[in-house]
Amino acid sequence: MDNQTLTARTEFAAAINQICSERGIPVQVVLDAINNALVTSFKKDFPEQALKFEEEEGKVITAEVDQDNGAFRVFVGEEGSTKKERKEITPPGFGRIAAQAAKQVIMQTIREAERDAVLADYEEHLGEVMTGMVQRMDGRAVVIDLGRGLAVMPPEEQVKTEFYRLNSRLSVYLKEIAEGLKGRQIIVSRTDPKLLEGLFSREVPEVSAGSVVIRAIAREAGSRSKVAVESTQPGVDPVGSCVGQKGVRVQAVINELNNEKIDIIQYAEDKEKFIKSALAPAEGLTIQFDQNSGETTVTVPSDQLSLAIGRGGQNVKLAARLTNTKLRIVADQASPDTAIVATGEEEFEIDQLGLDTKTRNLLVEANLTKIEDLSGQLEGVKGIGPKTLEKILAQLAAFRAPEAK
């Protein structure tokens, strides 16, 4: 072996050890990958020998790179044989071929090992809130730089009213590590209610310490949220703790969410009291439970009806979701047919059709709350006759007319 070859091998071995040390990658991981690549290279460049050993003699070809001096060797032997039992068959000139294969493997292994190490690190932090920087757009997804690694925020985890500018910083919720087209990816969210919980934990010492707990969150990301809080220690005001002096704590959370409105209410085991608090700012409410239907009727003074329902039904929807209750809101001097129904489980797409209240409520009770649901058979829906069906289809056609154009 000439001095040049010896020097090259020594430098190669040193490079492997240095790279693995700097990147935190086990040396054996790289060596195993190189050994596999050497076998592949041997079979590709010396197919006749490989065929002879594997198919004619039924033996197994293995390869090995010496960790100390970087020497490449190819062996053949029986399945399960030890190194001493195997025969070396390294062909002349194989070192250069092997070096090229090893170089490619090292780079690929480093990339994969680094990615796996980053994923393993962030996997321990799933369920937490972190601050990242918008690096780029990848189709409709947003790529977020979290520091050590990149995360992906798919369209369904983005707030519709937000625009994500390059290099802008934002808080995200580490939701999961999922398999994608480009391998395993860190998925983050701006819409998950747990983002709100994490932000309060960051801004409110009582929440992070556990003296105040968040019992429920109902959120329409980018618009409005309701948060139910409870104290675990006597003398601690849960609402006041979350609001902060002059509202400084809740305002910090609002700023992180681009001015999303946040209602903080006192949680109560008493269902009636909890529902009344959830429907704030409406006052003078009367609650009536129907154990058979599981529905709760809330009678509201006429001058409080709009407050209870909220713009686009938002207040009652969030309240229903927060309390996990199906709510029926009706004015104190109005017909029961004019009640607004909310389960908290839907977004009420059908509200866009401009249906009358009675028809709308019949569809909601039948769990037909999305526009696409109305494309099926509606004849069997209780309370919807031929004339009502005709009106629904007409309004559905009018709604879809702009799409056709």
Letter string b/e over residues 180-213, b meaning 16 or more CB atoms within 10 A of that residue's CB? eeeeebbbbbbbbbbbbbbbbbbbbebbeeebbe
Query: What is the pLDDT, as a whole number, of residue 56?
Result: 65
Measured from the Cβ of residue 309, the count of other Cβ atoms closer than 10 Å reads 21
| Nearest residue to 390 via CA among 350, 355, 338 | 355
Query: What is the pLDDT, as a whole number, of residue 6?
Result: 47
Q: What is the 3-state secondary structure (H, E, C) of 41-74?
A: HHHHHCHHHHHHHHHHCCCEEEEEECCCCCCEEE
Reported as type and span, the H/E element at residue 289 is strand 286-290
pLDDT (tens digit per residue) in 83-126: 788 888 888 877 777 777 777 877 777 777 778 878 888 888 99
Query: What is the pLDDT, as a whole number, of residue 337?
Result: 60
Q: The whole model's pTM is what?
A: 0.66
pLDDT (tens digit per residue) in 248-297: 999 999 999 999 999 999 999 999 999 999 999 989 998 988 888 778 88
| Residue 129, beta-bridge partner list | 173
Query: What is the pLDDT, as a whole number, of residue 1?
Result: 47
CB 118 within 8 A of CB 149: yes
CA gap 319, 262 in Å, rounded: 13
CA gap 357, 360 in Å, rounded: 5
Task: Say what angle helices 27-45 and 3-23 make with each other, to 10 degrees.
Answer: 130
Of the ranges 164-178, 232-246, 284-298, 363-377, which one carries the lowest mean pLDDT score? 363-377
Query: What is the pLDDT, as a whole number, of residue 342?
Result: 64
CA gap 3, 353 in Å, rounded: 83
Per DSSP, 124 falls in state T
Residue 44 has pLDDT above 60, yes or no: yes
Rounded-to-10 torsion of CA 190, 192, 195, 200: 130
The sign one gets for the Cα dihedral 365, 370, 371, 377 is negative
Residue 175 has pLDDT above 90, yes or no: yes
pLDDT (tens digit per residue) in 298-351: 898 988 888 888 877 789 889 999 999 888 888 887 666 655 666 665 456 677
Query: What is the pLDDT, as a whole number, of residue 158?
Result: 93
CA gap 357, 167 in Å, rounded: 46
| Nearest residue to 72 via CA among 43, 50, 93, 47 | 93
Mean of per-residue pLDDT scores for the chain: 83
CB 33 within 8 A of CB 25: no
CA gap 60, 65 in Å, rounded: 17
CA gap 106, 104 in Å, rounded: 5
| Residue 287, beta-bridge partner list | 298
| Nearest residue to 113 via CA among 13, 14, 26, 181 | 26
Measured from the Cβ of residue 46, the count of other Cβ atoms closer than 10 Å reads 18
Of the ranges 53-67, 140-154, 158-172, 228-242, which one carries the lowest mean pLDDT score? 53-67
CA gap 219, 345 in Å, rounded: 11
Q: What structural domains and CATH numbers belong to the chain?
A: 3-122 (3.30.1480.10), 125-190 (2.40.50.140), 192-267 (3.30.300.20)
Query: What is the pLDDT, as a whole number, of residue 353?
Result: 73
